[in-house]
Structures are given as C-alpha cells and as structure tokens.
C-alpha cells in the first residue's frame, strides 16, 4: 500500500499533456508533488490522510495568469472608459506615486484572494514595492513570478536607481517562499526606459539567470514614439541591442508586422495575450494565430485589475478565443482546447515554469484546481474543454491546491480571512484617494 498525503478520487482529469480527458480519475500527491494522475482502476493501491471527493468535478492544472499588476486591485473601477495615455497620465500614475508598501500589500492580498477563488495558481506580476507582493504570496500559498518595475522616463538617475532596486529584488526573492516565487527584472516599456538602460537590464538578467517582464508594442501611439526616437520598431531596436531571448516575457504585442513576429520567433520570445485589457483600452487585437503559426509560445494575462476589471482567467480565456475568431473571421482559429493550453502549460512555458507546473502528471508540482461541473450552465458534458472555456466561470472553481497544499476547499479559502482582506483593501483604496499627492517629478515628461 503506497502512502500519499492527499488523494483526489472520482474526478474527471484534464491533464493538459498529450493525453485525452480521463474519466474516473485519481490524483495522488506526496510531498507537494503529483505521484499519480490517471485512471483510478489502473492505480496502485494507495492511502492518504486527506481524501478529496472529486465526484462531479473536473481536475485540471491551476491556471497561469502571465501578466498582471496585482496591487492595482485598489484602482478597480476608478477611471473608466478612457484612452490608454490619458488613463495612465491623469489617474493611474498620480495614484501610483502615492503608493506606500503597505498599500501594495493590501492590494496584492486582495488580488491573491480573487485569484484563488477563480482558479489561478501561478501569476506573473510587475509593479512597485514588489517585496510586498512576495510577502502576500508567501502568506496565501500561491506560486508567482515577480518583477520589481523599472521606469526611467527621461531621468537617467531614476532609471539607474530603479534598475538597482529591481536587481536587488531579484537577488533577494528568487526562490523565496519555498521556491514558489521566481524573480524577473521588470523594465516597464520602451517609451519609459531608454535603450542604454535596457541594455543594462539584459546584461543583469543574463548575469543573474532571471527572466525579463516587459510591455511591448501595446499601442500604435507607443510604437510610434519609439519610431520617432530611434527610427526603428520596438522589436527592431530590441534585437539591435541584443535584448531579445527565450527568457523575455512580452506583454501585449498588439502592433507587430510579420517581419517583427519573425524576429520574435527567431529569438523564442514569449508573448502574453491580454484580450480583455487590450479590448477595454481599444488597443487592437494581437494576431495570436500568426504568432503561433511561427512557433511562438503564447500565454494569457488579465493585465492589472484597473484595466480589466477582474482577475478571472476563465473570462479572459473565453474572450481570448472569441476575439481571435472574430478578428480572423474564422471560428476554427482558436479551439477551446488551444485556449485552455494557453492558460495552463503554455502559460507555464511563458513564465519559465513548464518543468514545474502546467500539466497534471507524475513528477510535476501539485498545482491543481477542481471545477464543479454540477451546475446548470455546465450540463451536459459533451466536451469538457468546451464547457471549461465557453461555459465555466471563476466562481465554479471549488478546490485549489498549490504545491500540495489545499488553499481552498468547497470555495472556502483556508489561508486568509476573506472578510478582513476585503475590508482592509477597501479602507486602503479610499485612503489612497484622499491622501495628498507627492511631487511627481517624472510624470512631467509625459504630459
């Protein structure tokens, strides 16, 4: 009789490796790792201290949100229906200038709670006071890939300072929280970071063996800013300075020509598709089919909750698939299974964790969600992929396991006091608006 820590019985499994969905499945977890995920009838005899009844539920890898700014939960709904640059300059940047570490912690904790409740187990975040996000991650038990943001905005000394902080963060927090935290460097964009600073970011990332998280080709306006300054497209400039590589996570990429896509494919740059935020800010649709045809790995991100306005990867997955169909005028262009792959194993590749998470198979870390299919909108089940992508919502997630630890069971989160987290975040958000703004030097460069 094999001993396990947790056994999940009687569930349907979507392993997201090369196998078909598995009915009457069993998942065994020992020391935070999956030791078995397959047909219960074929499993060796096992026992465990903790048994989870998976009847009527579908188990799949926890979702990977490849691009967000978690603490922006505090700005949810604060400046709506505005163009990107106006939204950033008049509301978001002045508010961000007021942020204190404790605010980021409160906002991040709220974001973590929302993610657990909607089935995200790994997320990639870029923000200020990122150590506070790391602390929130440690407390709640999620997995995360975190980058302290870098902005230069024409002030070279500011860029140098923020690069130093980003490097220090990476040194201190790579491997933090029992290795659930991986660090990256976080240069914000090409219009807020100059080419010589970006060169230094590349050198440091290579030296530290960490990835880079950056916004790329997000809007026509920002692409034009780079063209005016350097006479090159963002991608051409980054190739010229030796910045591109398989460890670069490029969020958005809505404004690329075929030539730039080929350059990204050549360097194996990873792309994050943010369908909700791009659509809400009317920045255009990333041509995901073209990127994938070139062999580029694409994950899905929600982006910050101020431009989405939630962190529900189920919603983002559905809109991801629908938008591509509409854009290419072809309903076959992104099947449900492809969207689910982007939100699991491909997302894991984008954040460099494909050997650790993204599929349910023996040897992977036990990052598992159970989705309760015993709901009217999830009945009947002809195709579990279709139900998962087109019918399910984050609130259908019943159980969440990360690193072999049950973070939520029967929709009750075990690592947080839900009421308290919401109350604190609400208080902080209101206080932030009332607080006097500090002198915000570099914003003048944009207005």
CA nearest 306: which of 112, 70, 33, 85? 70
Closest CB 277 distance from Zn ion, rounded Å: 7
Choose the stretch contacting Zn ion; rule: CB under 5 A; options: 57-65, 256-264, 299-307, 331-339. 299-307
Nearer to Zn ion, 132 or 302 (CB): 302
Q: Is the peptide bond before 380 cis (omega within 30 degrees of 0)?
A: yes
Closest CB 302 distance from Zn ion, rounded Å: 9
Closest CB 279 distance from Zn ion, rounded Å: 14
Nearer to Zn ion, 122 or 338 (CB): 122
Round to whole Å and give the CA distance between 310 and 212: 24
Residues 6+ apart with CB under 8 A from 342: 273, 298, 299, 300, 317, 320
Nearer to Zn ion, 215 or 405 (CB): 215
Residue number, nearest CB to Zn ion? 303
- Which residue has tokens 């709901």? 375
Decide: 413 and 152 in contact? Cβ < 8 Å. no
- Confirm or reject binding of residue 303 to Zn ion (CB under 5 A): yes
Choose the stretch contacting Zn ion; rule: CB under 5 A; options: 40-48, 238-246, 301-309, 412-420. 301-309
Nearer to Zn ion, 72 or 198 (CB): 72
Tokens of 242: 């030796």
Interface with Zn ion in residues 25-44 (CB under 5 A)? none
Nearer to Zn ion, 303 or 315 (CB): 303
Q: Find residue 39's DSSP bridge partners.
A: 25
Closest CB 194 distance from Zn ion, rounded Å: 20
Choose the stretch contacting Zn ion; rule: CB under 5 A; options: 34-42, 171-179, 295-303, 396-404. 295-303
- From residue 406 to residue 445, the character string flagging contacts with Zn ion as x (rule: CB under 5 A) and all else as - is ----------------------------------------
Q: Find residue 180's DSSP bridge partners.
A: none
Q: How far is CA 301 from CA 67, 308, 407, in A?
A: 4, 10, 22
Name the phi and psi angles at 402, rounded to 5: -130, 130
Q: How far is CA 123 from CA 62, 180, 302, 344, 357, in A?
A: 10, 11, 10, 11, 12
Residues lying near Zn ion in the complex (CB under 5 A) = 303
């Amino acid at each position: 009789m094999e001993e396990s820590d947790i056994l999940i019985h009687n569930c349907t499994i979507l392993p997201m490796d090369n196998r078909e969905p598995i009915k009457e499945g069993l998942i065994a977890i020992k020391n935070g790792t999956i030791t078995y995920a397959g047909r219960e009838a074929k499993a060796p005899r096992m026992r465990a201290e903790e048994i989870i009844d998976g009847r009527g539920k579908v188990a799949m890898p926890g979702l990977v949100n490849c691009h967000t700014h978690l603490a922006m939960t505090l700005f949810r709904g604060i400046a709506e229906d505005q163009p990107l640059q106006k939204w950033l300059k008049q509301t978001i940047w002045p508010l961000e200038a007021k942020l204190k570490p404790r605010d980021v912690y409160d906002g991040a904790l709220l974001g973590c709670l929302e993610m657990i409740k909607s089935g995200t187990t790994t997320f990639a975040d870029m923000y200020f006071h990122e150590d506070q996000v790391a602390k929130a991650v440690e407390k709640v038990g999620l997995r995360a890939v975190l980058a302290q943001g870098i902005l230069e905005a024409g002030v070279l000394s500011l860029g140098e300072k923020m690069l130093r902080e980003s490097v220090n963060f990476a040194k201190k927090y790579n491997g933090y929280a029992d290795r659930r935290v991986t660090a990256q460097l976080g240069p914000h964009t090409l219009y807020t970071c100059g080419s010589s600073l970006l060169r230094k970011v590349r050198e440091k990332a290579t030296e530290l063996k960490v990835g880079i998280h950056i916004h790329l080709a997000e809007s026509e306006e920002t692409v034009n800013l780079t063209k005016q300054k350097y006479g090159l497209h963002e991608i051409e400039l980054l190739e010229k300075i030796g910045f591109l590589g398989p460890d670069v996570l490029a969020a958005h990429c809505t404004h690329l020509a075929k030539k730039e896509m080929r350059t990204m494919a050549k360097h194996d740059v990873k792309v994050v598709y943010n369908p909700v935020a791009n659509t809400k800010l009317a920045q255009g649709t990333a041509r995901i089919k073209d990127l994938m045809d070139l062999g580029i790995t694409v994950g899905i991100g929600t982006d910050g909750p101020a431009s989405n306005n939630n962190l529900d990867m189920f919603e983002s997955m559905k809109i991801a698939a629908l938008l591509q169909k509409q854009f290419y005028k072809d309903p076959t262009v992104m099947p449900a299974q492809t969207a689910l792959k982007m939100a699991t194993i491909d997302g894991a590749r984008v954040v460099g964790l494909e050997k650790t998470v993204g599929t349910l198979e023996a040897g992977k870390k036990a990052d598992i969600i159970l989705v309760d299919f015993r709901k009217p909108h999830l009945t009947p089940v002809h195709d579990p992929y279709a139900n998962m992508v087109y019918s399910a919502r984050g609130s259908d997630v019943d159980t969440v396991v990360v690193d072999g630890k049950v973070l939520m069971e029967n929709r009750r989160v075990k690592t947080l006091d839900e009421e308290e987290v919401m109350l604190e975040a609400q208080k902080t958000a209101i206080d932030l608006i009332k607080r006097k703004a500090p002198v915000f030097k570099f914003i003048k460069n944009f207005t």
